[in-house]
């Protein structure tokens, strides 16, 4: 079979991308960029526009003019149109819709009393997923783009693998422990609850089995893995997947709004989203929606996602044994075969990159793990491009604000860290920085006092330019993946949500979301 379709669209999209990059580079769009406030993205607009546009033009011409023959090359090249299609949507969303929505949000604030774009987290991640959902449901994914759209899964997996370079041993160890405990309790708990409740309501074992996997472990992926094992009927699969998709899309919007309203930090929100959101694809979406300009929340949430997927083979074996005990004639399962076939190979890639980066092979190890700490005079007093001195030490006015608020701090370690900051006009250690981040997150000081602490934090935390670019690359992989996954959420499948799976799934999903929120708020701290 020949997969490549003779279409002009790849070429047209390539020309649009290259033309846009050229217009940005030549300054023709300077006024437009200034209006949108996207000056910081000019570099990536030019680079990505030329790279993807160039590839699309070459492949587009080949698709139009060359004679195609069956084979691997034909298949791989047939994916380019879809990849470019997703990237074009992502470009429009990130460089135009996102800043425009932010402006509309600010403009509507006096009338509405709140910034709707900020409150509803209408940033490029959320809008990218919505754009994907709208594309598939309103316009339909063009047939020449279908193979490329399927590659979005690979985009997400690649993003997770690359993310492996950004963890320290301590982070991975602590987040790993936390995620095993939380996921262990809530995954096993919700699977058990669905199995118990399903039996009480006399639901068929096949329906209870597939629903428990979907609600308990990682949503649609778990339902896909478990359905053949518990011999689910077609309608049971449709009800379950419809319910999970409906719940997942709602969670992707509700979780970041709730997280911000509750003043959650990156770690607490990442832990909550990673545990409480039913569907794993929406975990990444919610994490990036919560923190679109950084990946600290995503780092936490993805550890939880990885832990979930490592639980998946265990849950499938559990369900298989459970089903065989209840159904006469059910096929016995080969435990070894399930463990091997369901093992997520991309997790090995994640671990390998983590180990490699830990050796310092790519860059100094301290550069990888979030922002590195440096409070030396070299970074505290710098010169800008015009040669003007920038002094990042706290000013007397800042210190007065902190002294005025100091009495509000009750904990001894926080008092001591604040005192050292006031005495030295800068943060003196990573520990002090972490301790005072807790004060910021808990909003103990006045708004102005908090702003001073944030200023002190920014003065000593730095991101290596190489790592900043690497993070941008990871964010693009996730954006690509999430827009593409949005194109696989059809309203026709969501509409199938119903019957007992909707009742049981919704109740258990809410219990899991609220239960994990309470546990995270009570037991998880904002520092690792």
Partner 1 sequence: MPDFTHVLIASHGTPGAQAAEQSALAWCRTGGRLSHLVVVPDLWSGMMGDDWLNNASTRDTYGKYVEGELQREIDLHVERLRAQTAAAGITYEYKVMFGKPTACLLEYERERTPDLVVIGTPRPKGQLGLRSRMHPERLGGELMAPLLVIPYPR
**Contacting positions for partner 1 (CB under 8 A):** 152-153, 156-157, 218-221, 224-225, 227-228, 232-235, 237-238, 241, 244-245, 248, 279-282, 305, 309, 312, 341-345, 481, 485-486, 488-490, 492-493, 495-496, 498-499
| Residue with Cβ nearer partner 1 (469 or 495) | 495
| Residue with Cβ nearer partner 1 (235 or 424) | 235
Smallest gap from Cβ 117 to partner 1, in A, equals 25
| Residue with Cβ nearer partner 1 (45 or 217) | 217
| Residue with Cβ nearer partner 1 (95 or 478) | 478
Smallest gap from Cβ 348 to partner 1, in A, equals 11
Smallest gap from Cβ 228 to partner 1, in A, equals 4
Cα distance between residue 280 and residue 261, in whole Å: 23
Query: Are the CB atoms for 514 and 190 separated by under 8 Å?
Result: no
Cα distance between residue 19 and residue 25, in whole Å: 10
Q: Counting every residue, how long is the chain?
A: 528
| Residue with Cβ nearer partner 1 (180 or 310) | 310
Half-sphere exposure of 46 (CA within 13 A, CB side): 14
| Residue with Cβ nearer partner 1 (31 or 345) | 345
Name the DSSP class of 388: -
Residue (of 490, 492, 483) closest to 127 by Cα position: 483
| Rg value, the chain, Cα | 25
Query: Residue-wise over 41-59: b if at least 16 C-beta within 10 A, else e?
Result: bbebbbebbbebbebbbeb
Query: Are the CB atoms for 213 and 228 separated by under 8 Å?
Result: no
| Residue with Cβ nearer partner 1 (271 or 306) | 306
Smallest gap from Cβ 213 to partner 1, in A, equals 12
CA 46 to chain CA centroid, Å, is 25
Smallest gap from Cβ 490 to partner 1, in A, equals 3
Cα distance between residue 455 and residue 384, in whole Å: 18
Smallest gap from Cβ 312 to partner 1, in A, equals 7
Task: Look up residue 125 and give its two tokens.
Answer: 């991640």
Cα distance between residue 32 and residue 38, in whole Å: 9
Q: What own/partner pairs with CB < 8 Å and gap ≥ 24 does 103-108 have? A: 103/36, 103/37
Task: Look up residue 502 and give its two tokens.
Answer: 């909707």
Smallest gap from Cβ 234 to partner 1, in A, equals 5
Smallest gap from Cβ 345 to partner 1, in A, equals 6
């Amino acid at each position: 079979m020949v997969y490549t379709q003779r279409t002009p669209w790849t070429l047209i999209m390539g020309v649009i991308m290259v033309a846009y990059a050229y217009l940005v580079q030549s300054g023709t769009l300077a006024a437009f960029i200034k209006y949108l406030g996207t000056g910081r993205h000019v570099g990536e607009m030019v680079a990505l526009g030329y790279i993807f546009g160039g590839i699309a033009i070459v492949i587009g011409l080949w698709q139009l003019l060359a004679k195609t023959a069956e084979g691997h090359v034909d298949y791989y090249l047939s994916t380019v149109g879809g990849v470019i299609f997703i990237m074009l949507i992502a470009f429009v969303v990130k460089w135009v819709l996102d800043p425009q929505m932010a402006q509309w949000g600010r403009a509507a604030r006096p009338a509405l009393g709140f910034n709707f774009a900020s409150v509803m987290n209408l940033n490029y991640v959320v809008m990218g997923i919505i754009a994907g959902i709208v594309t598939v449901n309103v316009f339909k994914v063009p047939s020449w783009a279908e193979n490329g759209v399927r590659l979005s899964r690979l985009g997400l997996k690649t993003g997770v693998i690359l993310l492996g370079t950004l963890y320290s041993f301590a982070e991975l160890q602590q987040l790993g422990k936390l995620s095993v405990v939380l996921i262990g309790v809530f995954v096993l708990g919700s699977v058990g609850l669905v199995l118990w409740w399903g039996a009480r309501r006399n639901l068929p074992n096949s329906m209870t089995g597939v629903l428990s996997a979907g609600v308990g472990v990682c949503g649609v992926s778990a339902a896909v893995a478990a359905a053949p094992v518990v011999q689910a009927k077609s309608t049971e699969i449709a009800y379950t997947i419809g319910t999970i998709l409906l719940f997942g899309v709602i969670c992707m919007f509700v979780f970041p709004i709730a997280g911000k309203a509750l003043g959650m930090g990156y770690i607490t929100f990442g832990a909550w989203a990673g545990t409480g959101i039913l569907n794993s694809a929406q975990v990444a979406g919610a994490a990036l929606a919560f923190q679109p300009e950084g990946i600290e929340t995503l780092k936490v949430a993805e550890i939880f996602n990885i832990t979930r997927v490592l639980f998946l083979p265990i849950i499938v074996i559990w369900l298989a044994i459970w089903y065989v005990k209840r159904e006469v004639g059910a096929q016995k399962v080969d435990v070894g075969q399930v463990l091997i076939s369901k093992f997520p190979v991309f997790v090995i890639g994640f671990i390998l990159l983590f180990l490699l980066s830990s050796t310092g092979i790519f860059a100094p190890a301290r550069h990888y793990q979030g922002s590195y700490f440096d409070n030396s005079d070299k970074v505290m007093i710098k010169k800008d491009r015009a040669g003007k001195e920038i002094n990042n030490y706290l000013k007397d006015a800042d210190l007065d604000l902190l002294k005025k608020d100091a009495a509000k701090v009750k904990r001894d370690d926080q008092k001591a860290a604040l005192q050292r900051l006031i005495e030295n006009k800068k943060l003196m250690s990573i520990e002090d920085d972490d301790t005072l981040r807790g004060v910021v997150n808990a909003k103990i000081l006045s708004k102005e006092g908090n702003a001073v602490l944030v200023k002190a934090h920014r003065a000593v935390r730095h991101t290596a330019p190489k790592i900043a670019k690497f993070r941008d690359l990871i964010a693009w992989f996730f954006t690509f993946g999430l827009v593409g996954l949005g194109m696989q959420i059809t309203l026709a499948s969501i509409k199938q949500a119903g019957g007992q799976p909707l009742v049981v799934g919704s109740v258990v999903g809410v219990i899991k979301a609220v239960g994990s929120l309470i546990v995270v708020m009570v037991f998880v701290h904002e520092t690792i």
